[in-house]
Every structure is written in C-alpha cells, then in structure tokens.
Structure 1
Amino acid sequence: MPLPLSALGATILPNVGGWAGSFLVRKHYSSWYMTLKKPKWTPPKYSFGPIWTVLYSGMGFASYLVYKEGGGFQGKAAIPLAVYGANLALNWAWTPLFFGYHSFKWSVIDGMLLMATAALTGALFHKVDPRAGLLMVPYLAWLALGSSFAFYIYQANDKIIN
C-alpha cells in the first residue's frame, strides 16, 4: 500500500532545510572550516549527507505519524507538532550560525536549545504514537555528538570567535 502524499511531504520537509544548509557548508568547508582545531573523533566529511538524510527522513515520518494519530493541528498533535516546528527552525539555524557567521558561541547556544526541543519533541511524539518517539532517538544521539563537537570547537578556537 503506497504512502499518502502527506507522509511523503512530511518526510521530505526536514530535508529541505538540510539541502539549503548544505550549499552554505560547501562554500565554507574547504577554506575556513579546514583551519579550525577539531577533535580527533570528528566524523568524516562524506558521512554528514547520508546521516542527515536518514535522520531528517525519520523525523519527518515521525511527524506524519503524530499528525495522523493525533488528529492533525486541531487535535492532540498540535503542541507536539509546534515543538517539532521550533526544533526544525533551530536545526536549520545552526548551519548559518556556524558556517555562515562563524559564531561558535551562538551555534553552541542553538545546539543546547536544539537538544532540549528535540528531547521534548521525542517525549511528546511518544505520547501520541510511541513509534514516532522512537524515531527521534537516533536524531538525539547525533545531536549529542554534534553538540559536543561544536562545544569542542568553541573551546579550542577561542581566538577566532566572532
């Protein structure tokens, strides 16, 4: 049985911000980013695209499950989906903060808010549809790694902080 278009749209939506951000990353990756002190456990460049595609798709499908099971924006899904929307906005803001403005401080602050809203989204999603909450777990794990990565860069590159 094919998925409805709303499931496809919800699954693709988070990727849109990721694709937009990837253009910004490409512009700065080979120059400015390569000069930064990074931890030894920095993930390889080629891993980010596939990992984020899987994570964004899982998040998006989770939002579809919550929308469907929770009665849409008028039902019990309204608050979980609003928190999810805030999380997406924070997620999409991180790349311009870090790569565009080279603001380590604000990317770390954004990352902390991102972790908090992702955890809350996962908990709220789980109340509506447990499968949706579980789909947020890999995203939270990756955010934990990413937040520690951003904090390391903030600490190690303090002389070039804007």
Structure 2
Amino acid sequence: MKNWQKLVIAILIPQVSGVLGALVTVSSVGSWYQTINKPSFNPPSWIFGPVWTSLYIMIGISLYLIWKSNHPFKKKAMWLFGIQMVLNTLWSPAFFGLESPLLGLIVIIPLWVSILACIKVFKPISNLAAYLFIPYFLWVSFATLLNASIWYLN
C-alpha cells in the first residue's frame, strides 16, 4: 500500500469513530443532556465538533506515522491505537446513548490510560506521533473531569 493511501485511511479511521459517536450523541444533546446538572466549566455545545474533528485529524496523522514505520514496537503501538479508538467510540453510546454519566466514566478512565500508553509507546517510534497525541490527552483529561463532575452533580 502506498504511503498516501495509508495517510488517508489513518485519518479516516478516527473520523469514522467520531461520526459514529455523533450519531448517538445528537439524540441526547437536545433532550437529556439539556436537563442534567453540569459544572460551571462546561463548554458550549458548539465547541465539541471542531475540537474533536481537529483531534481526530491529529491522531490520524499519528497513526499514519506509526503505520509507515518499521520499528519493532509498531505492532504494539497499532494495537494500543486500536484499543484507545474502540474506547473512544464506546464513550458516546455509554454516556449519551445510555444517558449514564457513570458508565461514561467507566469507559473514559481506561480511555485516558490507553492514550497515555500510546504516547509512551509512540515516542520511541516517532516523536511527532507522540506529540500529536498530547492535545488529545489534554482534551480527554478535561472530558474526564467534566464527565466525573456531571456524574457527581446528578
């Protein structure tokens, strides 16, 4: 497979995950999510789409950098990427689909850990791949705090 094809696929994988999450989220954002208690630092709803789209592009590029490498940790790194992507995809159905901040928290904590593991495993393969995961890690850290706060307040 050519590198440009790998790049396109690598960027599409997180975007597809995001679309799947959005399909579940849309029905709850206008109803259930509006009625629950949220912390004062809850961002406006319009910010989530652009932030997630940008983050998904960044982690897609990160996946591409790992995929095109010949490093001995490549397989482990690809598996870790897949694990965190599955957890990322499961969070929206858990939190929004099932309207369960507790279940969302149960999913987002291992997601947070798996993102941190990706950064650690990616670094010896590609510094840039690891660095591209840092904004994602920071946003999911914030999302974890937000999720925990919503669970606590409700």
Shorter-chain TM-score: what band? over 0.9
- Does the alignment pair 1:114 with 2:104? no
Structure 1 match to 2:143: 146
Equivalent residues in 2 for 1:58-73, closer than 5 Å: 58-70=58-70
Structure 2 match to 1:24: 24
Equivalent residues in 2 for 1:1-162, closer than 5 Å: 4-70=4-70, 75-157=72-154
Cα offset for 1:76?
2.6
Q: Deviations over 1:59-89 (max 9, x none)?
A: 1110110111235xxx430001101100000
Matched residue of 2:42: which SS? Answer: coil
TM-score by length of 1: 0.90
Q: Are residues 101 and 4 of structure 1, via their aligned partners in 2, closer, same or farther at CA, if it must alter by over 3 Å?
A: same
Structure 1: which 4+ aligned runs deviate by more than 6 Å?
Answer: none
Q: Would you say how many aligned residue pairs link Structure 1 and Structure 2?
A: 152
Matched residue of 2:73: which SS? Answer: coil
Gaps of 5+ in 1: 158-162
On the 8 A contact 2:6/2:67 being kept in 1, the answer is: no
TM-score by length of 2: 0.95
Select the structure with the greater relative contact order (CA < 8 A; seq sep ≥ 6). 2
Q: Distance in 2 between matches of 1:67 and 1:101?
A: 34
RMSD: 1.1
Q: Distance in 2 between matches of 1:140 and 1:39?
A: 21
